[in-house]
Structure 1
Amino acid sequence: MAKPRPMREHKGIGFTIGVMLLKPLLWTFTRHRWREGTKLPETGGVVVVANHVSHVDPVTFAHFMWDHGRLPRYLAKDGLFRIRVLGWLLRDMGQIPVHRESDDASQAFTSAVAAVEEGKAVIVYPEGTLTRDPDLWPMVGRTGAARIALASGAPVVPVAQWGAHHLLYPYSAKPRLFPPTRIDMLVGDPVDLEDLRARPVTPETIHEATDRIMAAITALLEQVRGEKAPAERFDPRRAGVRTIGNPHTDKRAARRRTG
């Protein structure tokens, strides 16, 4: 593992406070293994794509980005920005609100492209939500990351992350703090989209780019886990699983109705 890179970007108040509050907790409750982090560009706009296995993995992923000298900008649910202190911190850190399932959803795309073009590192979970796959493999991807990459011309760097679900399992309310959880991050080579950038931006082009991005993340996660992913990625819509919110609430409600 390479040594952490120094942080050269201007942090601002929000990131400074966030690091002061979170780093001691991460040092206490997690151990980490960062691999191939030098594949992350030191400077310049970049779209960093990763799988999503826990509500806490944005924090552990931010730790990884910080240790490699980059400030992470996430696409975050707009409701978080309405929480008084947290909303101020998110805005000061340049995080990007996403108005899901609304007419304002396109604003996040425009803001993300602008951030990348300004030389920032934008983190995108292409699945759009916590994985619904029963074994936590990456699901079918949404097109946001591909659209940002094709519009900005920025490199797309895939990262597989694993371990945060042991700290807090998806939709669990109770974290497991001890023993400290090991967080694995493995960075891959930039996803090759050059031939697609030369084409018109059609739905077919965007879906091809999305498939390549998800394949790159999945292949990296296979290395981290030492296992083979399913041949077909889980599709929550085809499986009849809700794509927003806790997918287990419908099952609990059905049990109550029939109990």
Structure 2
Amino acid sequence: MPEYVYPPVIKTAQCVFKALNIKVRLEGADRIPRTGGAVLVSNHVSYLDFIFAGVAAHPAKRLVRFMAKKEIFDSRIGGPLMRGMHHIPVDRDAGASSYAASLRALKAGEIVGVFAEATISRSFTVKEFKNGAVRMAVGGKVPLVPVALWGPQRMWTKGRKRRLLQRNVPVTILIGEPLHPKRGDDYDQITRDLHAQMQAMLEKAQREYPVTPKAGEAWWQPAYLGGTAPTPEEAEKLDLAEAEARKAAREDES
């Protein structure tokens, strides 16, 4: 398919990285398939994760088609960009069509990007997720490639002001060993294995990160490392309260 939008977006991002002196550490790039389909599964710590998860595939000269909520495609500005980059809309009320679209992309040899946690993790640990990514890999007969991101949360994450022009922010991107699930496997067990692998990768990225929080900045560090981010239990309660508030707002509108 013609690529009129994606390459210029990548070039723009690279220019921004250079201007802001964003140092990207990319490890495991050789684990991205050079050809054929794959499901790229990333953790989710910021609103910028699709940019950096996409960077994981650049050395292989691949483009990632991310699955993203339909509301972004409905945006007057974001919508044309998302469609131009051939990303895949996810309508929670019509999940089957999103799944079918992802399988078509995989069978056409595309890399499909998935944030399996669905929402940003406030605790900066890997939230529990369902087996959808595994089922996609099996359905498309493609490998499952785990990715861990760390650093973008300092620029823009849930519950914090955007600091998109912040300079000198290191970003770590770790790519793990691919999994090769097949029909007949225990999808839930593979999902648990994937989750454990991604959590171990994230902890590695966090422990090896070259910067520690300054005074008053511990919010971007997970609690287990002494930061003030919510614990997973506290984050779950916050997510539940947010979901209930959204539900109440929709009911009021109707």
TM-score normalised by the chain length of structure 2: 0.78
Q: Are 1:82 and 2:70 an aligned pair?
A: no
Q: 2:184 aligns to what?
A: 198
**SS of residue matched to 1:226:** helix
How far, CA to CA, are the matches of 1:137 and 1:207 in structure 2? 20
Q: Which amino acid aligns with 1:108?
A: S
1:26/1:60 contact within 8 Å kept: no
What is the Cα deviation at residue 13 of structure 1? 0.8
How far, CA to CA, are the matches of 2:11 and 2:167 in structure 1? 23
Pairwise CA RMSD of aligned residues? 2.9
Range 26-35 or range 111-120, more displaced = 26-35
How far, CA to CA, are the matches of 2:59 and 2:155 in structure 1? 20
2:39/2:133 contact within 8 Å kept: yes
Distance 1:85 1:169, change over 3 A: closer
Distance 1:247 1:165, change over 3 A: farther
**SS of residue matched to 1:73:** strand
Unmatched 5+ stretches in structure 1? 1-9, 200-204, 251-259
Q: 1:167 aligns to what?
A: 155
How far, CA to CA, are the matches of 1:209 and 1:160 in structure 2? 17
What is the Cα deviation at residue 243 of structure 1? 5.8
The 5 Å alignment of 1:9-88 reads 12-29=3-20, 30-88=22-80
**SS of residue matched to 2:50:** helix
Q: 2:141 aligns to what?
A: 153
- 4+ residue segments displaced more than 6 Å: 227-230, 247-250
What is the Cα deviation at residue 80 of structure 1? 1.4
Q: Percent identity?
A: 25
1:142/1:210 contact within 8 Å kept: yes
Q: 1:242 aligns to what?
A: 239
2:42/2:53 contact within 8 Å kept: no
Q: Which amino acid aligns with 2:201?
A: L
Unmatched 5+ stretches in structure 2? 209-221, 225-230, 247-254
Q: 1:214 aligns to what?
A: 195
How far, CA to CA, are the matches of 1:18 and 1:38 in structure 2? 23
Q: Which amino acid aligns with 1:242?
A: D
Distance 1:243 1:62, change over 3 A: farther
How far, CA to CA, are the matches of 1:66 and 1:220 in structure 2? 20
The count of corresponding residues between Structure 1 and Structure 2 is 226
Q: 2:97 aligns to what?
A: 107
The 5 Å alignment of 1:218-233 reads 218-226=199-207
Q: Which amino acid aligns with 1:44?
A: G
What is the Cα deviation at residue 219 of structure 1? 1.6
Q: 1:124 aligns to what?
A: 114
Q: 1:184 aligns to what?
A: 172
